[in-house]
């Protein structure tokens, strides 16, 4: 009986309440912050709404299968002038492109909108929406490097000769 009273007090005061389950890394970090913990006690409905909003906009990891798991990572290629192009394939289906560690942005007039830089697996090839008109086509080599073998312009597929492929070395 003497153990029942403290348990009842903890339950009534809300200290035994479970923290909400969240998916996004941002929401998980927020849950650990001491000021946010205080805010959860003061305004639980508001803080739950904030966490739900963060989860709603969190990037979603996409399952690409065995080939896609091998593709996720960073690749680089050294240009003739010494510049380094880096491609980063994220598990969210987005490809980022960097030139000398500066992220490249496409002009708005050429942008493909929401499908810009999205990558997918098509018949054992990696297709990346590069712009409104072009889709880059890559192939994963046996050594886990990435070869740009061609592109699609609108729906016309253009494959370049093997000696002109651009090979990106995997770095991560």
CA distance 16 to 124: 51
Q: Taking 90 as the threshold, does the pLDDT of residue 139 lie above it?
A: yes
Same domain, residue pair 73 and 131: yes
Query: Does residue 11 sit within a domain?
Result: no
- Identify the helix (H) or strand (E) that includes residue 78: strand 73-78
Same domain, residue pair 54 and 118: no
Does the pTM surpass 0.85? The reply is no
Question: What's 103's domain CATH number?
Answer: 2.40.128.640
The tally of domains found in the chain comes to 2
Query: Does residue 47 sit within a domain?
Result: yes
Query: Does residue 3 sit within a domain?
Result: no
> Which domain range does residue 33 map to?
21-58
pLDDT for position 60: 54
Same domain, residue pair 42 and 82: no
Banded pLDDT at 30 (limits 50, 70, 90): confident
CB neighbours of residue 155 within 10 Å: 6
Higher pLDDT, 128 or 46: 128
pLDDT for position 47: 79
CA distance 125 to 31: 40
């Amino acid at each position: 009986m003497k153990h029942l009273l403290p348990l009842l007090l903890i339950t009534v005061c809300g200290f035994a309440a479970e923290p909400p389950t969240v998916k996004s890394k941002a929401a998980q970090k927020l849950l650990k912050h001491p000021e946010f913990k205080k805010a959860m006690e003061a305004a639980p409905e508001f803080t739950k709404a904030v966490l739900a909003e963060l989860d709603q906009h969190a990037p979603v990891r996409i399952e690409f299968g065995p080939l896609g798991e091998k593709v996720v990572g960073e690749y680089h290629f050294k240009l003739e002038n010494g510049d380094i192009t880096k491609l980063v394939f994220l598990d969210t289906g987005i490809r980022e492109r960097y030139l000398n560690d500066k992220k490249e942005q496409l002009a708005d007039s050429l942008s493909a909108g929401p499908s810009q830089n999205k990558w997918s697996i098509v018949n054992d090839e990696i297709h990346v929406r590069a712009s409104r008109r072009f889709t880059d086509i890559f192939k994963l080599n046996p050594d886990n490097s990435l070869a740009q073998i061609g592109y699609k312009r609108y729906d016309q597929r253009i494959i370049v000769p093997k000696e002109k492929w651009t090979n990106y070395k995997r770095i991560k």
